[in-house]
Structure 1
């Protein structure tokens, strides 16, 4: 298949990108313009083929520092351990790989799912890894022992997203059939919400569970009462990814309408639309300090957005197929991206 032709790269140090920010971009003569603002589903109608004209001319191109290969199927999800030493990746080859981030080597391959593994998430203490699969199950793995410690059943269709609450007491699992809340200690299902969702995320304070849905809404549940208290509307396609900012003030959502929306959580209003991707936005992730938002797309690219100005400040091009998942390391120095080209790329972000 055709891919976006490589563009001429501008020279810009990693330190300049984040520490110099937009001022540094202006200083080197790069024009800036204000933007108008886990298995990833295949759209029923193909998006237009990406072309060089779709790429934001104001953004600086960055190159990956490493490419991790070993999966034999689409990479669907990536997640760093809380200490940043391990990267977990899942794929359509039914496996999860654990990588030593420093050495760039696979240290373990976790097997046991009988279908594509769609999503991975570490518990806040790093002791557990949760994985969701198209085999309708969720597994909990002992990270140190590299073994399954529990299999959570109850979903009747593919599980597409998993997320731990910040205190580690709850696990949310979302998929084609419903959303479930699990008590991690007892492994018991404590709540069920109906509806098809692509992505779930807890607010940093653990009080809200957000879900991106098939019906183009972002649903917000009160974790304590187990009730829906708001539906955020405005997207025109399925909402494929949701992520809270570290302070909980913002919610970023990406969908099939090619846009990323930013929502103010106090007012529950859409305050900005980030446009520039040429195809569906599959994954969104905030940097640990909340200053940068990374977005991955079916257009094969990743974009970095400055949250203060809402500007696209960097394009990360290198994948040869759609980008399924993006995740920052805990120190914010590295971004991991997983793609349908079966690879994982690591990008320096400072």
Structure 2
């Protein structure tokens, strides 16, 4: 969390007027700690769309801004979804991340939200998510306290069929071949002893690589999807001392 001056203190190095990510303007003599958090907390997720035609960034509250990277112009905003409960923040950062991932082929956007759910937005002609229909929402993973677990990482398979999400020490993969119906592509991928914070599919979609705070890289054989039972192909340990 950024350093916070109390009310009636000037914010060093900043203009007297601040603009929050919500578009609200504040006068510096009346700045509060919460205002600073809204204004200064950096983007918590970012991704390029198909052929780099759109750049998406998720702000502190889960709202998504869209830009054309070539012209630097805004393509609109996807408002933060209304949530009834918030996911548990990872202990490493203390903040709920909002990872984003675009489908390589279809332009669909997967976006994690404050409630631990992943929402799939349809592509629009401009290359960004379509705002004329609600997104498909994938259910959150529940932790031992029955609270939602924050999503740390998202990825699509190379053909765009399988979105994968890492939440806690578990990775789940869905099959979008029969949208609007969504089905689990297979059993959840478990085996890490710490939080998974990065995932990636191989180009042929047959392997899903996962890594996290347990300092291992696991290679999962997912060529049997959909409906197959994924197995760990290899467990790699990076060189160097363990923490």
Change (3 A) 1:143 1:129: farther
Provide the C-alpha distance between the structure 2 equivalents of 1:139 and 1:218, rounded to a whole number of angstroms. Answer: 17
Q: How big is the shift at 1:92?
A: 0.8
Q: Is 1:212 the equivalent of 2:166?
A: yes
Q: How big is the shift at 1:253?
A: 0.8
Unaligned 5+ runs, structure 2: 2-38, 83-95, 224-229
Q: Does the CA-based 8 Å contact 2:101-2:111 persist in structure 1? A: yes
Report which of the two has the higher share of strand.
1
Partner of 1:242: 199
Q: How big is the shift at 1:209?
A: 5.8
Instruction: Tell me the alpha carbon deviations over residues 37-91 of structure 1, each in whole angstroms, 9 at most, x when there is no partner.
Output: xxxxxxxxxxxxxxxxxxxxxxxxxxxxxxxxxx843322222121213211112
Q: Is 1:120 the equivalent of 2:100?
A: yes
Partner of 1:157: none
Change (3 A) 1:118 1:175: farther
Q: Does the CA-based 8 Å contact 2:53-2:68 persist in structure 1? A: yes
Match of 2:214 among 257, 276, 280: 257
Partner of 2:63: 95
| Aligned residue runs from structure 1 range 1-350, under 5 A | 72-102=40-70, 105-110=72-77, 112-113=79-80, 118-122=98-102, 124-126=105-107, 129=109, 131-134=111-114, 138=119, 140=121, 142=124, 144=126, 148-152=131-135, 173=138, 175-177=140-142, 196=149, 198=151, 199-204=153-158, 210-214=164-168, 216-219=169-172, 226=183, 229-265=186-222, 268-275=231-238
Change (3 A) 1:264 1:176: closer
Instruction: Tell me the alpha carbon deviations over residues 128-159 of structure 1, each in whole angstroms, 9 at most, x when there is no partner.
Output: 6454432678474746397722234xxxxxxx
Q: How big is the shift at 1:233?
A: 3.9
Change (3 A) 1:122 1:279: farther
Q: Does the CA-based 8 Å contact 1:256-1:279 persist in structure 2? A: no
Question: Matched residue pairs, number?
Answer: 174
Unaligned 5+ runs, structure 1: 2-70, 153-170, 179-194, 281-350
TM-score using structure 1 length:
0.38
- Say which SS state the counterpart of residue 83 (structure 1) adopts: helix
The structure whose RCO (Cα within 8 Å, separation 6+) is larger is 1
Change (3 A) 1:245 1:85: same
TM-score using structure 2 length:
0.50
What is the alpha-carbon root mean square deviation over aligned residues? 4.5
Change (3 A) 1:207 1:97: closer
Partner of 1:7: none
Q: Does the CA-based 8 Å contact 1:258-1:277 persist in structure 2? A: no
Q: How big is the shift at 1:173?
A: 3.2
